[in-house]
Amino acid sequence: MSLLSALARMEAAACGRARPVATVRHRHLATNPLVLVPLTTAGENGAPLGVMLGTDRSAPEVFTVPQPRDRDLRFAFLGRLAEAMLPHLESCQDEVELVERKETDPETGKRVTVEAELCADAPQVLVPTGPGVDFVRLLGRSMRFRRTAEEDPGAEHPAPPRVPLLGRWLTHYGERARVPGSSLLLSMTGLLSRHWATGQSQLEDQHLGALLAWLAPPDGLGGAEAALRAELGRDARGQLLVPPAGPATDPAFDNELLAPAIARYDKGVPGAAQEVHELVASQLRPTWEAMWQGVDLLRALPEAAHVPDRWRRDRQSYTHHRDRLRAAEPPQPRRDDAVTAARKLAMREQRQAELDAQEALDDPLVMAVRRLAGEAFLAEVLEVEMAYSDGKRPSPRPLVTVHTQDVPLLSDGDKLHRQLPTGAQQRAELVEMAGPGEYVLRLVGGMGRGKEPAPGTVPEKGDLMCWTLFEHAPRGGPGLPEPEETPWTHGGPPGEPSAERPDPVTAEDVL
């Protein structure tokens, strides 16, 4: 935890209200996000109990399973879920823009520019909590290897049409959610705690009700009191006033209300299915309202400058998945091979570094965190001395003496970076520590190609600017071998890619 967020938490605890830790919104928020509130059955991770979903806060759809252990009912539920979610997930597939992309020509091996489609927008899915994101991933895993009657006429328990397809979409969204800064699938607790600090622990912040209690305490209550009420408050029947945001349910609800209702359904009592439906819906609705309250809070923040850049990558990811589906490729494999895993890790590390840099550039409050950590400093220019590099074509290498009151962790030769007013990047290196807080930097880039620096690229005496020790657009690593060239150290080539076999039906599947 950074010094500033610790301070914000202490301030929040002292004043009883959440404190901002960001001045802008660092994640994309769609105009019409699909809000998805799933619940699962206690002790049966892969058995959904019900879901409330939709893009319209006043008209959510609710699906429930009266007996979650019944495989047929579960698949009927997943079939309905697919019919409800797929139109949204597929809604952005056809509106595209054409972009240029560098690609390696498979015949000549040269880098050539090709024109590619990029979907103009991508559907966003919001779930309440981090475990909700995991549940989306789990649903994806449980569905994508199923076979429909059409795919496998001999299957004993064919999945409803489109269920495997939904599995592939959810898998893609779940996997994309692991990429730092991505916004295709986000959790509300993650979004809110990125932008506000509460007076409770990070663990407690994972309770959506308690988190919102700090952000918008009901009249007359302090944050701590309201959060405690959200966590523990129960009505006369012993039921939580604010049910958990899932996917787990409250044991008191399970034991006292849900289990008897499911037992009545098992016995064939008329109306029992409806009873389960209403019970589950009663647990879903408060979270549904909380989700939209969170959306409202986030909408009040202006979007950060780099968010569209990162959202463009989400759109690319969405477009790639669309292309793979259209090319009738097999579902995502159960496990990554060595090369795919290494590529994913390299990409995510690059995105993480980029996200950290962009958030700091977009938001003075985030930059303050980096300044306090000694990774950036705000400096005033004391003097600029023009100098040139040696060599046949001398380039400008001005020496800039700056003074800062921050305490950067610098040593000789360190590279420094700053954003020019045009948005371009400028690099410098530390030449000398001239005195307390006084540094001599040599500008080494961002001044154009000419002998004289481009206008506005060299600071002037008295200018105030923020230098960072971290790069703003970190480069990617070197290429990795193709999977079919996996070296012996990593087990050799994974063999012919073949469509993975569907999951076998086990005794637990059919009760």
Secondary structure string (H, E, C) spanning 368-431: HHHHHCCCEEEEEEEEEECCECCCCCCCECCEEEEEECCCCCCCCCCEEEEECCCCCEEEEEEE
Compute the distance between CA of residue 413 and CA of residue 424 in angstroms, rounded to an integer.
Answer: 22
CB of 352 to other proteins, least distance (A): 5
Give the closest residue to 349 by CA, choosing from 510, 210, 477, 214.
477
Query: Residues 90, 121, 323, 349: which binds other proteins (CB under 8 A)?
Result: 349
Q: Which stretch binds other proteins (CB under 8 A): 84-92, 213-221, 343-351, 503-511?
A: 343-351
Shorter beta-carbon distance to other proteins: residue 193 or 287: 193
Contacts of 50 (CB under 8 A, 6+ apart): 38, 39, 62, 63, 64, 65, 277, 280, 281, 284
Question: Given candidates 239, 445, 490, 493, which one binds other proteins under the rule CB under 8 A?
Answer: 490
- Choose which of 163, 170, 212, 338 interacts with other proteins (CB under 8 A): 338
CB nearer other proteins, residue 68 or residue 408: 408
Q: Looking at 105, 151, 152, 485, which residue binds other proteins (CB under 8 A)?
A: 485
Query: To the nearest 5 percent, what fractions of the chain are helix, strand and coil?
Result: 40, 20, 40
Q: Which of residues 386-415 bind other proteins (CB under 8 A)?
A: 407, 409, 413
DSSP string across 154-215: T-SSPBPTTHHHHHHHHHHHHHHTTSTT--SEEEHHHHHHHHEE-SS-TTGGGSHHHHHHHH
d(CA 134, CA 123): 19
Residue 475 touches other proteins, criterion: CB under 8 A: no
Which among 83-91, 139-147, 350-358, 457-465 is the span making contact with other proteins, rule CB under 8 A? 350-358
Q: What is the Cα–Cα distance from 392 to 386, expressed in whole angstroms? A: 18
Does the protein bind other proteins through residue 491 (CB under 8 A)?
yes
Interaction with other proteins in 233-252: which residues (CB under 8 A)? none
Residue 480 touching other proteins (CB under 8 A): yes
Q: Interface residues for other proteins in 273-312 (CB under 8 A)?
A: none
Q: Is 328 exposed, middle or buried (0-12, 13-18, 19+ CB in 10 A)?
A: exposed
Angle between helices 188-195 and 272-299 (to 10 degrees): 20
With residue 127 as reference, give the H or E element that holds it: strand 125-127
373 binds other proteins (CB under 8 A): yes
Among 10, 44, 120, 178, binds other proteins (CB under 8 A): 178
Work out whether 478 is an interface residue with other proteins (CB under 8 A).
Answer: yes
Binding residue for other proteins, selected from 218, 233, 374, 456, defined by CB under 8 A:
374
Angle at which helices 223-232 and 208-215 cross, to 10°? 160
What is the closest distance, in whole angstroms, from the C-beta atom of residue 178 to other proteins in the complex? 6
187 binds other proteins (CB under 8 A): no
Residue closer to other proteins, measured from CB, 421 or 436: 436
Minimum CB distance to other proteins, residue 344 (Å)? 8
Select 456 or 476, whichever has its Cβ closest to other proteins.
476
User: From the CB of 13, what's the least distance to other proteins, in Å?
Assistant: 16
Q: Which of 348, 380, 471, 502 binds other proteins (CB under 8 A)?
A: 348
Helix orientation angle between 259-267 and 272-299, rounded to the nearest 10 degrees: 140
Residues that bind other proteins (CB under 8 A): 178, 180, 335-339, 341-342, 344-346, 348-349, 351-353, 373-374, 407, 409, 413, 429, 477-481, 485-492
